[in-house]
Amino acid sequence: MESLGLNVVLPPFLNGRRQFTTTEVNQSKYVTKVRWVVEAVNSRIKQFKYLANTIPNSALPHLEHDVSIVCAIINRYRPPINTSNAEDVAIAEKMILLRSRKNNFEKFLQRNNLKKSSSKWHAINHIDIIDEFPILSEDEIVSNITLGTFQLKRARSYAEENASTTDLT
């Protein structure tokens, strides 16, 4: 792959650790931002029954030809997965800039001995903290924090996994 000019990157694995380092998290986000397109294409290809199942070794000599036909059909009859827009370059540049940024929040947790091996989520009264909490629009979150909607779509299920209730209204 590298001989074709492609930069091959594997996401990090926890290997028994509870949490990734900041560098590993940033690298993983970077890979995920690009990887979703690959997964979307694979999903389209696997909509064809023949390619959705395990392919026998006897089919290997003509597999490239079969996949080429399937891809031609997809390209002809399906819309593009993603079309470039004016914001793509700006998002990529911001991701590259943020990728090497230090995690000041993690430093704060360590400095104040707040980084513990486990944590418990508990209900709080939002009235007590509402004045201190920043109010951000969805556009500000997407543009400045998540650089896309993937994390926003996962936020509710993440909170439900870590809360003792699913009533998060």
Within 10 angstroms of residue 147's Cβ, the number of other Cβ atoms is: 19
One domain for residues 69 and 16: yes
CB contact at 8 A, 8 and 1 = yes
160 band by pLDDT with thresholds 50, 70 and 90: confident
Check residue 167 and give its pLDDT: 65
Share of the chain above pLDDT 70, in %: 91
pLDDT in tens, 1-52: 788 888 777 777 888 887 787 778 777 777 777 777 888 899 999 999 999 9
- Both 133 and 111 in a single domain? no
**Statement to judge: residues 44 and 103 lie in one domain:** yes
Are 97 and 144 in a shared domain?
no
Reported residue count of the chain is 169
- Note whether 43 and 112 are same-domain residues: yes
Contact 8, 2 (CB under 8 A): yes
d(CA 147, CA 84): 15
Considering the domain architecture, whether residues 31 and 85 belong to the same structural domain is answered as yes
User: Are 104 and 156 found together in one domain?
Assistant: no
Cα–Cα nearest to 35, from 53, 12, 9: 9
Averaged pLDDT score across all residues of the chain: 82
Both 85 and 147 in a single domain? no
Identify whether residues 139 and 150 lie together within a single domain: yes
| Range from 30-34, 64-68, 134-138 that averages highest in pLDDT | 64-68
Same-domain pairing of 106 and 160: no
Residues 97 and 162 in one domain: no
pLDDT at 70 over 80: yes
Pair (93, 130) in one structural domain:
no
Q: How many separate domains does the chain show?
A: 2
pLDDT over threshold 70, residue 168? no
Find the domain containing 131 and state its range: 120-169
